[in-house]
């Protein structure tokens, strides 16, 4: 799942970004409202986590601009503004939920998953590739009737691949989305992560789903007989 976090406190943004990544989310951060609007209009996100009090453009105006532009990304307000009129305004503008700071991350995670489970217009769905099924709402993975137990990083890698099913995902892109946007390190890190994923997704089964394109990257599609 791809999340846009719009939060003007750099320390709070970094902490929340780290926690979300540990849960398998791909996260992009904007530190002001104008940048948040630019990213929200230019990229496809599954969820937007939005502060209200932002420099450049407040969160209410940002959401109004997105909805006016026809962008229906589910929005979670995360703010210190705790009055009832603020909550009502956020929901009337098209926000899906409203959580007041300070908050417990476990509650935020639950609310995000609930928000995503209602559906969105950004294309989130259950993916089926051969006998592999990936349900992003419940974060569950199956091979046939077998439920696979994946770590957060393994799930994030698999979801990245299935979101791009039939297309090669380069090692650089995998590293950037799973670890750090400025990653320029050892490609063996990516290869090792794919090997761990294959041990659970492919090795126990006759049909192989994760394919290698040597020197380029990986893709998911059923192997040809």
- At 66-106, the pLDDT tens digits run 888 888 888 999 999 888 888 888 887 888 889 898 888 88
- At 194-203, the pLDDT tens digits run 999 999 999 9
Cis-peptide into 102, omega within 30 deg: yes
Q: What is the pLDDT averaged over residues 51-56?
A: 93
CATH 3.40.50.970 fits 2-117, yes or no: no
Architecture of domain 127-220: Orthogonal Bundle (1.10)
Sign of CA dihedral 112, 115, 121, 124: positive
- At 4-41, the pLDDT tens digits run 999 999 999 999 999 998 888 889 999 999 999 999 98
Cα(194)–Cα(183) distance, integer angstroms: 17
Q: Indicate the domain borders of the chain.
A: 2-117, 127-220
Q: Whose CA is closest to 91, among 60, 133, 123, 137?
A: 60
pLDDT value of residue 184: 58
- At 127-174, the pLDDT tens digits run 888 889 887 766 789 998 899 999 888 988 998 898 888 889 998 888
Q: How many CA atoms lie within 13 A of 160 on its CB side?
A: 28
Full DSSP string of 149-176: ---HHHHHHHHHHHHTTTS-EEHHHHHH
Which residue is associated with the tokens 């390190």? 185
Q: Which long-range contacts (CB under 8 A, 24 or more apart) does 197-205 make?
A: 197/150, 197/154, 197/157, 197/158, 200/148, 200/149, 200/150, 200/154, 201/132, 201/141, 201/143, 201/148, 201/158, 204/143, 205/131, 205/143, 205/144
């Amino acid at each position: 799942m791809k999340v846009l976090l719009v939060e003007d406190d750099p320390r709070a943004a970094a902490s929340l970004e780290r926690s979300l990544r540990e849960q398998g989310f791909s996260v992009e951060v904007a530190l002001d409202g104008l940048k948040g609007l630019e990213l929200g209009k230019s990229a496809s996100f599954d969820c937007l986590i939005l502060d209200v009090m932002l420099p450049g453009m407040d969160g209410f105006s940002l959401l109004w601009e997105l909805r006016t532009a026809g962008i229906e990304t589910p929005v979670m307000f995360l703010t210190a503004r705790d009055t009832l009129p603020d909550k009502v305004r956020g929901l009337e503008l098209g926000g899906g939920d409203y959580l007041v700071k300070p908050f417990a991350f476990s509650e935020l995670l639950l609310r995000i998953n609930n928000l995503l489970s209602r559906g969105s217009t950004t294309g989130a769905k259950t993916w089926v590739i051969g006998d592999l099924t990936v349900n992003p709402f419940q974060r569950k993975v199956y091979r046939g009737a077998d439920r696979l137990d994946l770590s957060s990083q393994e799930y994030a890698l698999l979801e990245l691949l299935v979101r791009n099913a039939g297309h090669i995902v380069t090692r650089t892109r995998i590293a950037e989305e799973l670890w750090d946007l400025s990653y320029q390190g050892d490609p063996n890190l990516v290869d090792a992560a794919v090997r761990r994923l294959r041990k659970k997704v492919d090795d126990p089964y006759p049909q192989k789903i994760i394919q290698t394109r040597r020197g380029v990257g990986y893709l998911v599609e059923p192997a040809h007989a």
